[in-house]
């Protein structure tokens, strides 16, 4: 299978790194500044990865991931559709650009809209997606096969994509903030920073795995850690007093609202 990547900035390169782990693919890569594409090519160590220009990529590829910023993608797709392989599958990761716009600009070709997050780079991503009616079973299977090395993928109705993005797309930033705060706390109570960060990171990984693997409600798992009159309930109470859960909910709501606002600005 021939797979193209146009625009390998933060997200395009993150996806490309895990998709490159698939056997039997040829990878065609382009980026506005050549150095970025060359750097990625060196990092990939892929026997069949090549740099090309955008038009060459879409003429030859079965599936092309577009990693351009939302303000550039529609104009570039309009240009490239004219020279693309007619059997191509376009994969857009652009925030706020909906499937109808993408289908229109590609002249009714197969389009999958995805919302990945940066952990796709190491195979622990969370990607939501929605496809138009021109994506056949075989195109969808090919896409799913490509995405297996990126982490988890979930198909959603398009109306839920922005809300899902406010958790999964933006969420890594909130989690990094929590790891940083826990590390700072460790330093404040006398631990070396590297140790504090290791403790914080592994605690997040382990707790997330407990939620996933035991399928218990997070509140039940929290109850199991808090003994009467103990240290943990003292910490939990302090989090409540400082609005931890409210702050987390507000973070997601504000991110969602900002996405809607950005869409409005683009329309206006």
Per rule CB under 6 A, is residue 39 in the interface with ligand NAP? no
Shortest distance (Å) from residue 156 CB to ligand NAP? 14
Per rule CB under 6 A, is residue 54 in the interface with ligand NAP? yes
Shortest distance (Å) from residue 248 CB to ligand NAP? 19
| Rounded alpha-carbon distances, angstroms, from residue 99 to 20, 41, 105, 108, 182 | 26, 30, 10, 11, 40
Per rule CB under 6 A, is residue 168 in the interface with ligand NAP? no
State the Cα–Cα distance between residues 54 and 164, nearest whole angstrom: 30
User: Which member of 20, 29, 31, 88 binds ligand NAP (CB under 6 A)?
Assistant: 31
Judged by CB under 6 A, the chain residues 94 through 113 that form the site for ligand NAP are 94-95
Per rule CB under 6 A, is residue 119 in the interface with ligand NAP? no
Binding mask 66-95 for ligand NAP (x = CB under 6 A): -xxxx-x---x----------------xxx
Shortest distance (Å) from residue 95 CB to ligand NAP? 3
Per rule CB under 6 A, is residue 16 in the interface with ligand NAP? no
User: Which member of 22, 56, 118, 152 binds ligand NAP (CB under 6 A)?
Assistant: 118
């Amino acid at each position: 299978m021939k797979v193209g990547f146009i625009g390998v900035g933060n997200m395009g390169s993150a996806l490309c790194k895990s998709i490159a782990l698939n056997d039997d693919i040829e990878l065609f890569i382009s980026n506005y500044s050549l150095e970025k594409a060359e750097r990625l090519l060196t990092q990939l160590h892929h026997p069949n990865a090549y740099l090309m220009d955008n038009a060459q990529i879409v003429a030859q590829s079965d599936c092309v991931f577009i990693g351009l910023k939302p303000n550039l993608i529609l104009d570039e797709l309009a240009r490239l559709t004219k020279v693309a392989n007619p059997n191509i599958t376009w994969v857009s990761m652009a925030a706020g650009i909906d499937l109808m716009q993408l289908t229109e600009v590609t002249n009714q070709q197969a389009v999958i809209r995805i919302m990945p997050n940066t952990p796709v780079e190491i195979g622990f991503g969370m990607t939501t997606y929605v496809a138009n009616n021109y994506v056949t079973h075989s195109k969808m299977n090919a896409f799913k096969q490509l995405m297996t090395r990126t982490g988890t993928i979930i198909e959603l109705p398009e109306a839920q994509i922005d809300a899902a993005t406010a958790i999964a797309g933006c969420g890594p930033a909130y989690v990094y903030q929590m790891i940083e705060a826990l590390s700072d706390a460790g330093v404040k109570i006398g631990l070396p920073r590297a140790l504090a960060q290791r403790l914080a990171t592994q605690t997040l990984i382990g707790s997330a795995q407990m939620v996933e693997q035991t399928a218990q409600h997070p509140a039940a798992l929290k109850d199991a850690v808090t003994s009467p009159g103990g240290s943990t309930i003292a910490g939990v109470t302090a989090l409540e007093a400082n609005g931890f859960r409210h702050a987390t909910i507000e973070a997601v709501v504000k991110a969602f609202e900002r996405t809607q606002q950005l869409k409005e600005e683009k329309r206006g």
